[in-house]
Amino acid sequence: MLTLKHLPISSFNENIVYLHKDCVAYKLEDIKFMTKVEVHGGPKPIYAFLNIVNDESLVTPNQLALNNEAFEQIKLPEGTNVSIALTPPPPSINSIKRKISGNILNSNEYATIVNDITERRYSNMDIASFLVSSGAFMTPPEVLALTEALVGEQTISWDNEGIVVDHHCLGGIPGNKTDIIITAIVSA
Protein backbone atom coordinates (compact mmCIF):
# COMPACT_ATOMS: atom_id res chain seq x y z
CA MET A 1 0.00 0.00 0.00
CA LEU A 2 1.06 3.54 -0.73
CA THR A 3 -0.06 6.86 0.70
CA LEU A 4 -2.13 9.06 -1.62
CA LYS A 5 -0.78 12.49 -2.50
CA HIS A 6 -2.19 15.24 -4.74
CA LEU A 7 0.19 16.92 -7.17
CA PRO A 8 -1.37 20.13 -8.52
CA ILE A 9 -0.60 19.34 -12.17
CA SER A 10 -3.19 19.63 -14.91
CA SER A 11 -2.95 17.35 -17.94
CA PHE A 12 -5.87 18.28 -20.19
CA ASN A 13 -8.24 15.53 -19.05
CA GLU A 14 -5.65 12.73 -18.75
CA ASN A 15 -5.32 10.86 -15.46
CA ILE A 16 -1.67 10.57 -14.40
CA VAL A 17 -0.13 8.52 -11.55
CA TYR A 18 3.32 9.46 -10.27
CA LEU A 19 5.52 6.92 -8.45
CA HIS A 20 9.05 7.42 -7.17
CA LYS A 21 11.75 5.42 -8.99
CA ASP A 22 12.57 3.69 -5.67
CA CYS A 23 8.94 2.84 -4.87
CA VAL A 24 8.73 0.58 -1.80
CA ALA A 25 5.62 -1.29 -2.93
CA TYR A 26 6.34 -2.09 -6.59
CA LYS A 27 9.37 -3.10 -8.67
CA LEU A 28 9.37 -0.47 -11.36
CA GLU A 29 12.11 -2.17 -13.34
CA ASP A 30 9.52 -4.83 -14.21
CA ILE A 31 7.58 -2.17 -16.12
CA LYS A 32 9.38 -1.76 -19.43
CA PHE A 33 7.22 0.97 -20.98
CA MET A 34 4.74 3.64 -20.01
CA THR A 35 1.59 1.83 -19.14
CA LYS A 36 -1.84 2.40 -17.75
CA VAL A 37 -2.64 1.36 -14.19
CA GLU A 38 -5.70 1.02 -12.00
CA VAL A 39 -5.62 2.89 -8.69
CA HIS A 40 -7.58 1.09 -5.98
CA GLY A 41 -8.77 2.43 -2.65
CA GLY A 42 -11.91 4.38 -3.48
CA PRO A 43 -15.43 3.20 -4.30
CA LYS A 44 -14.25 2.13 -7.77
CA PRO A 45 -10.85 2.07 -9.44
CA ILE A 46 -9.63 4.92 -11.58
CA TYR A 47 -7.48 4.42 -14.66
CA ALA A 48 -4.34 6.49 -15.18
CA PHE A 49 -1.04 6.61 -17.04
CA LEU A 50 2.03 5.84 -14.96
CA ASN A 51 4.94 8.28 -14.75
CA ILE A 52 8.13 7.70 -12.78
CA VAL A 53 9.63 10.53 -10.68
CA ASN A 54 13.21 10.88 -9.38
CA ASP A 55 12.58 13.84 -7.05
CA GLU A 56 11.49 12.98 -3.48
CA SER A 57 10.18 16.51 -3.02
CA LEU A 58 7.43 15.58 -5.50
CA VAL A 59 6.78 11.96 -4.54
CA THR A 60 8.50 9.87 -1.88
CA PRO A 61 9.10 6.11 -2.29
CA ASN A 62 6.08 5.33 -0.08
CA GLN A 63 3.66 7.65 -1.88
CA LEU A 64 1.46 7.52 -4.95
CA ALA A 65 0.68 10.94 -6.38
CA LEU A 66 -2.21 11.86 -8.66
CA ASN A 67 -2.58 14.87 -10.92
CA ASN A 68 -5.60 17.20 -10.63
CA GLU A 69 -7.91 15.20 -12.91
CA ALA A 70 -7.18 11.84 -11.28
CA PHE A 71 -7.29 13.23 -7.73
CA GLU A 72 -10.69 14.80 -8.38
CA GLN A 73 -11.99 11.54 -9.83
CA ILE A 74 -10.80 9.22 -7.02
CA LYS A 75 -12.62 11.29 -4.36
CA LEU A 76 -10.28 10.32 -1.51
CA PRO A 77 -8.36 12.60 0.88
CA GLU A 78 -4.59 12.85 0.84
CA GLY A 79 -2.99 10.30 3.17
CA THR A 80 -5.41 7.49 2.25
CA ASN A 81 -3.81 4.11 1.58
CA VAL A 82 -4.11 3.08 -2.07
CA SER A 83 -2.69 0.42 -4.35
CA ILE A 84 -2.20 -0.04 -8.07
CA ALA A 85 -2.52 -2.85 -10.57
CA LEU A 86 -1.56 -3.00 -14.22
CA THR A 87 -4.62 -2.34 -16.34
CA PRO A 88 -5.60 -4.92 -18.93
CA PRO A 89 -6.48 -3.53 -22.36
CA PRO A 90 -9.96 -1.94 -22.51
CA PRO A 91 -12.69 -4.43 -23.50
CA SER A 92 -13.43 -2.44 -26.65
CA ILE A 93 -9.86 -2.19 -27.98
CA ASN A 94 -10.43 -4.82 -30.68
CA SER A 95 -13.56 -2.99 -31.86
CA ILE A 96 -11.61 0.25 -32.19
CA LYS A 97 -8.88 -1.57 -34.14
CA ARG A 98 -11.58 -3.03 -36.41
CA LYS A 99 -13.06 0.45 -36.99
CA ILE A 100 -9.63 1.90 -37.78
CA SER A 101 -9.24 -0.93 -40.33
CA GLY A 102 -12.49 0.18 -42.01
CA ASN A 103 -14.89 -2.42 -40.63
CA ILE A 104 -18.52 -1.82 -39.71
CA LEU A 105 -19.28 -2.07 -35.96
CA ASN A 106 -22.51 -3.22 -34.32
CA SER A 107 -24.47 -1.52 -31.56
CA ASN A 108 -22.90 -3.65 -28.78
CA GLU A 109 -19.43 -2.63 -29.93
CA TYR A 110 -20.36 1.06 -29.89
CA ALA A 111 -21.93 0.70 -26.43
CA THR A 112 -18.73 -0.92 -25.11
CA ILE A 113 -16.54 1.78 -26.71
CA VAL A 114 -18.62 4.59 -25.19
CA ASN A 115 -18.55 2.87 -21.79
CA ASP A 116 -14.75 2.50 -21.92
CA ILE A 117 -14.35 6.16 -22.89
CA THR A 118 -16.67 7.19 -20.04
CA GLU A 119 -14.62 5.06 -17.60
CA ARG A 120 -11.46 6.89 -18.86
CA ARG A 121 -9.82 3.71 -20.08
CA TYR A 122 -8.57 5.54 -23.19
CA SER A 123 -6.14 8.39 -23.65
CA ASN A 124 -7.09 11.51 -25.60
CA MET A 125 -5.01 10.17 -28.50
CA ASP A 126 -6.90 6.84 -28.48
CA ILE A 127 -10.23 8.67 -28.53
CA ALA A 128 -9.02 10.88 -31.38
CA SER A 129 -8.03 7.79 -33.39
CA PHE A 130 -11.50 6.33 -32.92
CA LEU A 131 -13.21 9.60 -33.88
CA VAL A 132 -11.07 10.07 -37.00
CA SER A 133 -11.75 6.52 -38.17
CA SER A 134 -15.47 6.95 -37.47
CA GLY A 135 -15.53 10.30 -39.25
CA ALA A 136 -13.99 8.72 -42.34
CA PHE A 137 -16.81 6.20 -42.79
CA MET A 138 -19.96 5.26 -40.89
CA THR A 139 -23.05 3.51 -42.17
CA PRO A 140 -26.49 4.85 -41.13
CA PRO A 141 -26.94 1.90 -38.69
CA GLU A 142 -23.56 2.78 -37.14
CA VAL A 143 -24.57 6.42 -36.69
CA LEU A 144 -27.74 5.22 -34.95
CA ALA A 145 -25.79 2.76 -32.78
CA LEU A 146 -23.27 5.43 -31.72
CA THR A 147 -26.07 7.91 -30.98
CA GLU A 148 -27.93 5.34 -28.88
CA ALA A 149 -24.71 4.46 -27.03
CA LEU A 150 -24.11 8.14 -26.26
CA VAL A 151 -27.67 8.64 -25.01
CA GLY A 152 -27.71 5.42 -22.97
CA GLU A 153 -30.75 4.98 -20.76
CA GLN A 154 -31.65 8.68 -20.78
CA THR A 155 -35.04 9.69 -22.12
CA ILE A 156 -36.35 13.17 -22.76
CA SER A 157 -40.05 13.92 -22.59
CA TRP A 158 -41.48 16.72 -24.72
CA ASP A 159 -45.13 16.10 -23.84
CA ASN A 160 -45.83 19.73 -22.89
CA GLU A 161 -44.35 21.26 -26.05
CA GLY A 162 -46.25 22.05 -29.24
CA ILE A 163 -43.27 21.85 -31.60
CA VAL A 164 -39.90 20.29 -30.90
CA VAL A 165 -37.07 20.86 -33.38
CA ASP A 166 -33.50 19.60 -33.23
CA HIS A 167 -30.61 20.57 -35.46
CA HIS A 168 -27.71 18.24 -34.82
CA CYS A 169 -24.72 16.85 -36.66
CA LEU A 170 -21.86 14.47 -35.88
CA GLY A 171 -19.13 16.78 -37.02
CA GLY A 172 -18.50 20.21 -38.38
CA ILE A 173 -18.00 23.35 -36.36
CA PRO A 174 -20.64 24.40 -33.79
CA GLY A 175 -22.09 27.80 -34.58
CA ASN A 176 -20.93 27.86 -38.20
CA LYS A 177 -22.88 29.31 -41.16
CA THR A 178 -25.11 26.24 -41.39
CA ASP A 179 -26.56 27.01 -37.94
CA ILE A 180 -27.54 30.50 -39.05
CA ILE A 181 -29.33 29.17 -42.15
CA ILE A 182 -31.08 26.31 -40.34
CA THR A 183 -32.21 28.57 -37.49
CA ALA A 184 -33.74 31.05 -39.96
CA ILE A 185 -35.56 28.30 -41.89
CA VAL A 186 -36.98 26.72 -38.72
CA SER A 187 -38.03 30.09 -37.30
CA ALA A 188 -39.86 30.98 -40.52
Dump pLDDT digits (tens) for 109-143. 999 999 999 888 888 888 988 988 888 889 999 99
Whole-number pLDDT of residue 47: 92
What are the boundaries of each domain within the chain?
A: 2-86, 90-188
Pick from 125, 54, 46: nearest CA to 83:
46
Rounded to the nearest 10 degrees, what angle do helices 93-100 and 107-118 cross at? 120
Residue type for 184, please? A
Distance between CA 102 and CA 34 in Å, rounded? 28
DSSP single-letter state for residue 26: S
* CATH H-level superfamily of 90-188: Transferase, Pyrimidine Nucleoside Phosphorylase; Chain C (1.20.970.10)
Reported as a pLDDT band with limits 50, 70 and 90, residue 70 is: very high
> Whole-model pTM above 0.75?
no
pLDDT in tens, 10-45: 988 889 999 999 988 887 776 656 578 999 998 889
Phi and psi angles of residue 122, each rounded to the nearest 5 degrees, phi first:
-115, 150
Distance between CA 7 and CA 64 in Å, rounded? 10
**The CATH number of 2-86 is which of 3.40.50.150, 2.40.40.20, 3.40.50.261, 1.10.10.60?**
2.40.40.20
